[in-house]
Structure formats: C-alpha cells, structure tokens
Amino acid sequence: MAVQQSVGQDPYFPDNGDSRYRVHRYELALDYRPGPNRLSGTARINAIVGRSPLAEFQLNLADFKIGRVRVDGRQPHYTHRGGRLRVRPAKPLRAGAAFTVEVHWSGNPKPVNSPWGGLGWEELADGALVASQPVGAPSWFPCNDRPADKASYLISVTTPSAYAVVAGGRLLTRTTKASTTTWVYEQSAPTSSYLVGLTIGKYQTVLLGDPGPGGIPQHGHIPAHLLPEFSRDFARQPAMMELFQELFGPYPFDEYAVAVTEEELDVPVEAQGLSLFGANHVDGARGSERLVAHELAHQWFGNSVSIADWRHIWLNEGFAKYAEWLWSERSGGRTAQQLAAVAHRLLSSQPQDLRLADPGRKAMFDDRLYERGGLAVHAVRCALGDEAFFLMLRSWVRLHRGGAVTTEAFAAHVGRFAREPVEGVFTAWVRGAALPSLPVFRAGE
C-alpha cells in the first residue's frame, strides 16, 4: 500500500499543479493527424476536493482552442491564459467531494518552453512523441501537473492507419474504420502527468524474450530497418528485468515497452511502463546498454515510487544511475565500486556547489546530480552492507508503491535498517555540497 506524503505547491514550478484537489482518473480521447500536426481531444477528469471547499481551481493546458468546459455537467466560468485553465464552478465544491471536469480542446500541439528547451509533444518528421519531464504534459492534455498527483489513465488515440500508437500501459483494443485506427490503452497504476508516455510512428513490434507463466511481457516498437541492431542492443533487457526484480522487488506494472524513433534524441525518455529511445541509441554494439538499464530502473524509482516535488529528483536519478552500476557488476562488467571511483574522480574536478537534497531548478538535470546521486546510494550501501541494503531497497519500493516520497522519508527509512546511525551519510552526501571521500564497499559485509 502506498504511503502518500502530504505536499503543497512545488517550489520549483509554483505555476504548475493545484494542491487543493487531487485527480484519481483521466479519460482522454484524442484524434491526431500527423500531416497538419492537428490534435483534438476530450478529457474527462475525475477528482476529489481537498480539506477546504473549492470555489475555483486550475488545470495546466497549453495554448489550444477550448471548445467547452463542464464541471459535473454544468457550465462553469473559466479563463485560459499563460498555460493555465482557471475554472470557477457554478457552485463551490464542498470539502472532500468527488467531482468531474470535462474539457474539449483542439489545435497544433507543440512543446512548451522551459529552461531545458521544448518539453512535451514533439512533432517528428513522420509522427510524434511525448517527452514531458518535468512540466511538458500540458503541451497535449489538461492536467493537474504535479508529480505527487498520481492518477489512472484511459487513453484513446485515433490516427491514420499507417501509423502505430504506443502508450504506457495495456493495449485494450485496436479498431480500424475506413482509413483511421483507434488505439485504446489503460494505465491502471497511479501515474504522474509527466510520465504519461506516447509515441506515434511507423513501427514494427517484437517480443523481447519469453515472459513465461507469470512473467512480465516486454515489447519493442522499432522502425523495421533498425530491427537487426535493436535485437542485439536490447537482447539483455529480459535479464535486466530478472535482476532488478531480484534486487528491487516485483516489477510494479503489468508490462514494459520500449520504442525507438526514426530520429535522434539527446537522451532517452522515461514514461510509466514505456521508455523512448532515439535511433542514435541503437548501434548494434550495445553502446547504450547502460541507458537501457537506467530507463528500466526508473519503473521502480521515479515511476512507481515518485517524488513529492522536484526538489527530490535525486531519488529518481541517483537510483537509476546506481542501477546501471549494479547491472554492470552483475553482468560481468566493472563493479559498482570501480564505477563509483570513476564518478568520484569526475566530480572531484568539477564545482562543488550542488546539494542533492535541494539542487535548485537550474541544476535539477545537471550531470553532477546523476553521478553524485549514484555515489550517495553507494555510500548508503557501504554503510548498511549488502544484506541490509537490498532488504531496505525492497522494503522502500513495497511500502511506497504508487505513492510519492521525500528525501527525509528515505533517510528515516534507511535508518531503520542500519546497525549504526546513518545521519552522517546523509549530511555529507545529500545535504552538503563538498564532495566527501570515496565510500568503500567491502564484499561480504
């Protein structure tokens, strides 16, 4: 059962999300035409008011034309400016009440601006993809855009039949009428809005390994001409899945998919139950295998166990980085200790002004956060020893499955598995800026 942290507005993105209510389900019906890059949609959003009556609320939605808005079937007053859809129901909503919002919108989707470039819906040469981390979800649907507000999703996408639609979750139906096909996906697990993944393209679908009875179905969606390289580059993903289930606990979703676009991507894109890679990540020589491990690990750390707000992003990236090292260690490559030493040497030559516990918005995707995050996890492993460390990890994932967490919650959780106080580890590695000495792992401890 998930333990949900109580959180308010995100200090890094105060204009995104509304903490006065929470969504428990989105039902999205989309129609997309790749040629003119035209998107029209209807969202039915089921939500619950918080502890105080709600006279008005907001959703985040980019600059689309609004067709209509309804709250519990009635027309409210609303305004739509600056990426915010402000809604004032005909009557205030009482505390704790369930309510339903319906929004119809249409237009030409495009990425929303951010300090890291465009985020969200991206038109490709022949198709589209969604890369929303951290605040790109409003580029294509109205949402309460905060990582702690997690909901289930039903997504229906109609597009010309030459294209495949890949989304995170289980494909329920695929129905062709005339020249279009409608794909319907269900993501029943609680999902943050930025983790709703989608790509539209001309893909060939393959099964990655044989899941066997009770196994996790894993599919690849790739351009046909990249299939030979893909088959080698992702061949060991089923083994990663087995290892990570051993180390972290059961895979938290029904299935897992990876998709490769025809175009290059700066970095792979994580989504819930789905990871998106660029053609540049497929070389036939397993040149990006660490990224395959990294994105898979996010299904546990970041997706199932999400962060309460973006100050805690190291809990996502530090664990995904460390999973790269664990895969290397367990698959015959360099050990986690050797890779930690490499990361430590790298960080020692760079500015030491980043604090994992609250890196600031400008530094939340700094390469140093990933490397230092991995080192912080390694320091915890060194302090606990292997048996207690992996017991702690599996307990953390189980306790917070489907929920949202903070650095403080993780430090308290680690403390319950330690023979000696670990506060010094968190003070040095997570709350401090100066780089501590390399932690040393002694096998068998």
- Which residue from 350, 368, 348 is spatially nearest to 359, judged by alpha carbons? 368
**Distance of alpha carbon 187 from alpha carbon 383, whole angstroms:** 38
Output the DSSP codes for 305-328.
BEESSGGGTHHHHHHHHHHHHHHH
The tokens for 178 are 């005339």
Within 10 angstroms of residue 292's Cβ, the number of other Cβ atoms is 23
Amino acid at the residue 319: F
- Which residue from 282, 297, 306, 181 is spatially nearest to 234, judged by alpha carbons? 282
- Which residue from 150, 188, 196 is spatially nearest to 172, judged by alpha carbons? 188
The count of residues in the chain is: 445
H-type alpha helices, 139-251? 227-233, 237-248
344 is in an annotated binding site: no
Give the β-pairing of 198-201 and 164-167: antiparallel
Q: At what angle do helices 386-399 and 237-248 cross, to 10 degrees?
A: 90
Per DSSP, the three-state class of 207 is strand
Report CA torsion sign: 335, 336, 338, 342. Answer: positive
Chain centre to alpha carbon of residue 228: 28
270 is in an annotated binding site: no
Residue 131 C-beta-side C-alpha neighbours within 13 Å? 23
298 is in an annotated binding site: yes
- Which residue from 343, 225, 331 is spatially nearest to 286, judged by alpha carbons? 331
Output the DSSP codes for 357-393.
TS--GGGTT-HHHHHHHHHHHHHHHHHH-HHHHHHHH
Output the DSSP codes for 393-431.
HHHHHHHTTTSEE-HHHHHHHHHTT-SS--HHHHIIIII
Token look-up 């580059």 returns 233
**Distance of alpha carbon 168 from alpha carbon 149, whole angstroms:** 18
- Which residue from 290, 315, 311, 313 is spatially nearest to 10, judged by alpha carbons? 311
* Sequence ranges of the binding site: 294, 298, 317
* Sequence ranges of the binding site for Zn(2+): 294, 298, 317
